[in-house]
Amino acid sequence: MKKIFLLLIFLIILGACNDGDVIVTSFDFTDEELNNCGEPGGYVLFKINNSTFESISLSLNTTNEIFEIEEVQNFNLNGEGNIVNYRKYSGAIEADYFCANVPPTSPSVNSEYIGASGEVVITNTITLDDEDGIVEEISDLDTDGDLLLDYYDFDDDGDNVPTLIELGADFINGLTDMPLNSDPLVDDIPDYLDPDDDGDGVLTRDEDLNSNQDPTDDLTDGVPNYLNANVQDETVATAYRVHTYNYKSDLSVVLKNIVLINGIDEITEETMDLGIKTGNIIEDRTVTPDFE
């Protein structure tokens, strides 16, 4: 009788502990790479841990171009359009499991937990770079006032000669640490910041006789007029040349206060850092500043 009583107490305690909570010891994606696919209206960001045959994925139905917005973006998980899924599989899966229009049927999903509530915090970091090699450019400096800051303005002084040309070959090739200054007797301003490179009183951009926004191909005696102080022929510029810069997007994703549910079982995570997906966009872009 005593043994039966003790067994009954054990069963009661066991039943009281079965409140739907579940501990998943392999729920770890810290070292896994964050990947993504999709487009506005159907983004998917995911991590795969094939050592334990698990994945965590985030589906977002936002029409925002998330890789173009440089600010914190917050989304609520609603179990419909914005969903977090945790899955365990019968075997290893590849990235195309999430990116294919029709997911493969193998391996099979052994268990799945769906995010019923929580918040998604996305931070997109955009890097713009004119790739001119000037690393000390001040982030908020716009030397020529064309609304392109110097660090992604490939013509810092707005004279229609690219900074990369005006720095001089010796500076670019590391033979000197001083950028080129073609009129040292007139001023101590390097050419890439000097609107009148030869100091002849005519702006470099106005020594463009054929008006093609490129003063480098207007020559007298084999020397570009903008570098020849003896030539002061002037054609007033009316436009800037097309500018090129490199655009790069790095996205970080954090899940907060998520509750993942499978029937009566649930997984709760106060904060889950999905990590950073770098190079979502890496491309050269062009813009022509308004001429003032």
Question: Both tokens of residue 188?
Answer: 């101590």
Question: Both tokens of residue 242?
Answer: 């097309």
- Could you give the angle at the alpha carbon of 149 between the alpha carbons of 147 and 152, nearest 5°? 120
Cβ neighbours around 242 below 10 Å, total: 11
Half-sphere exposure of 77 (CA within 13 A, CB side): 23
Q: How far apart are CA 188 and CA 261, in angstroms?
A: 68
What pLDDT was estimated at residue 171?
A: 93
pTM, rounded to two decimals? 0.81
Render pLDDT for 139-192 as a digit per residue (tens, 0 to 9): 799 999 999 999 999 999 999 999 999 999 999 998 999 999 999 999 999 999
What pLDDT was estimated at residue 190?
A: 97
Question: Both tokens of residue 230?
Answer: 């003896």
- What's the longest Cα–Cα distance across the chain? 117
What pLDDT was estimated at residue 95?
A: 87
Q: How far apart are CA 208 and CA 31, in angstroms?
A: 56
CA-wise closest residue to 277 among 97, 37, 87, 100: 37
Cβ neighbours around 39 below 10 Å, total: 10
Amino acid letter, residue 137: E
| Radius of gyration for the alpha carbons in the chain, expressed in angstroms and rounded | 30
Q: Is the peptide bond before 224 cis (omega within 30 degrees of 0)?
A: no
CB-CB contact of 158 with 143 (8 Å): yes
Q: Which residues pair with 261 in a beta bridge?
A: 114, 266
What pLDDT was estimated at residue 44?
A: 94
What pLDDT was estimated at residue 25?
A: 44
What pLDDT was estimated at residue 26?
A: 60
Q: How far apart are CA 64 and CA 201, in angstroms?
A: 50
- Could you give the angle at the alpha carbon of 211 between the alpha carbons of 207 and 214, nearest 5°? 65
pLDDT along the chain (292 residues), means of 10: 39 43 61 92 94 93 93 89 92 89 85 91 95 82 95 96 96 92 97 97 97 97 96 96 96 94 89 92 96 84
Render pLDDT for 40-58 as a digit per residue (tens, 0 to 9): 999 999 999 999 999 999 9
